[in-house]
């Protein structure tokens, strides 16, 4: 008497390895995709003030209007697109909830969803639990970057949605402005939505983020997801933003009403401060992530591992194919022998097999020790 669609939904490999790592204090844990920085003080103070002032009641289901107005201004200033606060923005309990609400809104039985792989684990169950069919694109041959030609090959008359995620989790690769325009040119005249997960948009190191939502022809067919978890070190506050045409936001808001009612009021007041008061905290965090990215990339290259240099987020995705292990076996063996926790690539679909994801959202001290241990493991590991 369980929904049969749940039978093929499994706990993410990220959580499996992270759970094992938590049991041993000597483990260098490089699994979790969350900043090691604390939430900036001015944001925390806004949350505390909201509690002290008894701002603890339900808000509007779509989110406080002043927060939606701040989000509209912030996104326009950062990425050049304009969504109306009153009916084109929904405040969600994290971007992950936004994924779920969006897919349940636009999908129906038999719809097809094109998903570039490897991919964040929520996309597949969000698709299948809606009765839709995931259609995968293997991006590894193109350096883990999807392009218009690859999407075109997968389009059918059943295609309802194309999911874009850039910068990408797990690879850290992103798409250029021209690549986004090419995808827009392909899709602008088709009855297909784009679900664009841009949660890592603030964490780009060598270029500016370009959102597909800023292309006028795509606004009516795009659902843009963003949030404060990664950029503002607010993972536990669970605060996301969905931006889309009013007809889509209206339906997503219905779903939110009957699932969570609204996002946490405390988190909303903290987010309002985050979006209206800019300090140097974000720049300093981004600068530190870039140093860590460069350090881990150089260390992996010196170990002889094949890896594409990430342009954003805080992940790096080296190949382990030469060692002959399945990615889960490699991760478990590394954890057992050297007490380093990484995520097996197959946590991000079968197209991630043969790789591991390393999160560099940890201190340089931990990254250095983790890299030393990984290097020892690599040097003595032979093909089985």
Residue in the structure block whose two tokens are 């009612």 = 261
Query: What pTM did the predictor assign?
Result: 0.94
Percentage of residues in the chain with pLDDT exceeding 70? 99
Mean pLDDT score across all residues of the chain: 95
Q: Is the pLDDT of residue 384 over 60?
A: no
Beta carbons of 219 and 188 less than 8 angstroms apart: no
**How far apart, in Å, are the Cα atoms of 326 and each of 25, 30, 82, 219, 329?**
26, 19, 45, 42, 5
Q: What is the mean pLDDT of residues 15-38?
A: 88
Q: Is the pLDDT of residue 369 over 70?
A: yes
pLDDT tens track for 152-176: 999 999 999 999 999 999 999 999 9
Rounded distance, CA 225 to CA 245, Å? 13
Which of the following CATH numbers is that of domain 4-39+281-378: 3.90.870.40, 3.90.1150.10, 3.40.50.150, 3.40.720.10? Answer: 3.90.1150.10
Q: Which residues contact 149 (CB under 8 A, 6 or more apart)?
A: none
Q: Is the pLDDT of residue 97 over 70?
A: yes
CATH class of the region 43-276: alpha beta
The pair of structure tokens assigned to 257 is 């009403």
Q: Which residues contact 178 (CB under 8 A, 6 or more apart)?
A: none
Task: Give me the residue spans of the domains in the chain.
Answer: 4-39+281-378, 43-276
Q: What is the mean pLDDT of residues 298-310?
A: 96
Rounded distance, CA 231 to CA 282, Å? 7
The kind and range of the H/E element at 371 are helix 364-380
Q: What is the mean pLDDT of residues 244-263?
A: 97
- Topology alike, domains 4-39+281-378 and 43-276: no
């Amino acid at each position: 008497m369980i929904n049969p669609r749940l039978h093929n939904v499994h706990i993410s490999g990220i959580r499996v390895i992270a759970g094992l790592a938590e049991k041993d204090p000597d483990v260098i844990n490089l699994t979790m995709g969350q900043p090691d920085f604390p939430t900036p003080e001015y944001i925390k103070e806004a949350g505390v003030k909201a509690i002290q002032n008894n701002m603890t009641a339900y808000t509007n289901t779509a989110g406080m209007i002043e927060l939606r107005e701040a989000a509209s201004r912030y996104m326009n200033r950062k990425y050049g697109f304009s969504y109306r606060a009153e009916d084109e923005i929904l405040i969600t309990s994290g971007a992950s909830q936004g994924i779920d609400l969006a897919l349940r809104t636009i999908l129906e039985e038999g719809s097809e969803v094109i998903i570039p792989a490897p991919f964040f684990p929520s996309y597949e169950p969000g698709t299948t639990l809606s009765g839709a069919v995931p259609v995968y694109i293997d991006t590894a041959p193109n350096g883990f970057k999807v392009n218009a030609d690859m999407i075109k090959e997968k389009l059918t008359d059943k295609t309802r949605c194309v999911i874009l995620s850039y910068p990408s989790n797990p690879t850290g690769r992103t798409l250029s402005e021209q690549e986004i325009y090419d995808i827009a040119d392909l899709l602008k005249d088709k009855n297909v939505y784009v679900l664009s997960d841009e949660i890592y948009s603030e964490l780009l190191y060598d270029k500016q983020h370009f959102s597909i939502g800023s292309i006028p022809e795509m606004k009516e067919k795009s659902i843009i997801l963003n949030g404060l978890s990664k950029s503002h070190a607010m993972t536990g506050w669970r605060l996301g933003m969905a931006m889309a045409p009013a007809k889509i936001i209206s339906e997503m808001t219905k779903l939110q009403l009957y699932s969570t009612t609204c996002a946490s009021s405390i988190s909303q007041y903290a987010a309002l401060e985050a979006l209206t008061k800019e300090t140097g905290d974000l720049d300093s965090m981004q600068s530190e992530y870039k140093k860590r990215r460069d350090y881990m990339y150089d260390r992996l290259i010196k170990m002889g591992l094949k890896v594409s240099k990430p342009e954003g987020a805080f992940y790096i995705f080296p190949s382990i194919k030469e060692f002959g292990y399945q990615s889960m076996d490699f991760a478990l063996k590394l954890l057992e022998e050297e007490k380093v926790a990484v995520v097996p690539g197959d946590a991000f679909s079968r197209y991630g097999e043969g790789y591991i994801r390393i999160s560099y959202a940890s201190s340089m001290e931990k990254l250095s020790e983790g890299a030393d241990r990984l290097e020892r493991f690599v040097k003595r590991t032979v093909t089985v």
